[in-house]
Amino acid sequence: MFKRLKRPVVLSILFCAAMMLNACSGTTTDTEKTAPERVLTDALGHEVKVPAQPQRIIASYLEDHLVALGVRPVAQWSVGGQSVQAYLQGELAGIPPIPSDLPYEAVMSFSPDLIIMGSADMVAGDKYDQYAKIAPTYTVGTEKNNDWRQVLLKVGEVLGKSEEAKNVLAAYEAKATEAREKLKQAAQGKKAAALWVTASSVYVVNEKLSSGDVLYKDLGLTPPDAVREASRSSDNNWIQLSLEKLAEMDADYLFVVNSKGVSKEQLLQDPVWAGIPAVKNNQVYAFDRSSSWLYSGPIASGRIIDDVLGSVLQ
């Protein structure tokens, strides 16, 4: 009898063991799905309880970084509820706009579970406390214009995507290095400037910000005197330029964001442009508002590099 019972007993034991293993596996999966929130300290010293897997993120004007990390926000930055970052719309199609000043009612209407702010001025006064009542609010940097590389790494940390952020940054640096080497042969010592022309004004990019950072730091081009002078007196991304300074622009290459509503040829017919070396030598390259020249981030900067190479090396 003992021998006859031995096999069923063994099978019973194995069955119980299998059930226990399945139960343990199920517990692990549930734990992963309901991983606890993390507490992170933001740039302003706030301890922020960040959800483990946020699903409804508002990160106004940081969409470039989100897209680079494979994340779609619940709303996207806009001016006047219409003007959005056009160069990102392939990835942000269908994402509703939210005003750039982030009214509390508008933010609340999207029921975010995480709010990421780019700089301290976005939460000045009692704004932080108001946003924090809506959802956990993390402020990335303290400056008006923070280094987009550090912002990318910090956003990656907040979203639990640090490795992805490092990989995105490494890929960009490799691209910039390769482009800089190509330009050394074709444009070494050449001066370049990026201009934004609107219906009423002309702006020049800051030497160290936005597309200026790409032109001069990443690609090794030389800023004209007018760019250096304007950058010393302003911390804005784009600085209004007088017509007198425009006429004196000693640039071999001009990259123009044309928002004036006229063609490049019509724009350059104005005598104020006539003495610029880039105009004389037909080295003016025009882009519309759908380009990334007015913005910062890994995607924007990468596309600016493509535009420069496609223009100068054509």
Rounded to an integer, what distance in angstroms lies between the CA atom of residue 15 and that of residue 190?
77
Percentage of the chain surpassing pLDDT 70?
Answer: 89
Residue 82's pLDDT band (boundaries 50, 70, 90)? confident
CB atoms within 10 A of CB 121: 12
CB atoms within 10 A of CB 167: 14
Token pair belonging to 49: 């309880």
Q: What is the mean pLDDT of residues 230-238?
A: 93
pLDDT over 50 at 246, yes or no: yes
Q: Return the closest-CA partner of residue 199 out of 101, 274, 266, 105.
A: 266
Question: pLDDT digit string (tens) for 64-76?
Answer: 999 999 999 999 9
Percentage of the chain surpassing pLDDT 90?
Answer: 82
Residue 24 pLDDT: 44
Residue 35 pLDDT: 61
Q: Which domains does the chain have, with CATH numbers?
A: 38-160 (3.40.50.1980), 176-312 (3.40.50.1980)
Question: pLDDT digit string (tens) for 127-138?
Answer: 999 999 999 999
- Give the C-alpha distances (Å, rounded to integers) separating 227 from 83, 94, 128, 205, 234: 27, 38, 35, 7, 11
Residue 188 pLDDT: 84
The residue type of 234 is S
pLDDT over 60 at 207, yes or no: yes
pLDDT over 70 at 210, yes or no: yes
Beta strand 97-99 pairing with 76-78: parallel
Question: pLDDT digit string (tens) for 5-60?
Answer: 444 444 444 444 444 444 444 443 443 445 678 999 999 999 999 999 999 999 99
Task: Name the average pLDDT for the chain.
Answer: 90
Question: pLDDT digit string (tens) for 142-189?
Answer: 988 889 999 999 999 999 999 999 999 999 999 999 999 999 988 988
Residue 314's pLDDT band (boundaries 50, 70, 90)? confident
Give me the sign of the Cα torsion angle 102, 104, 108, 112: positive
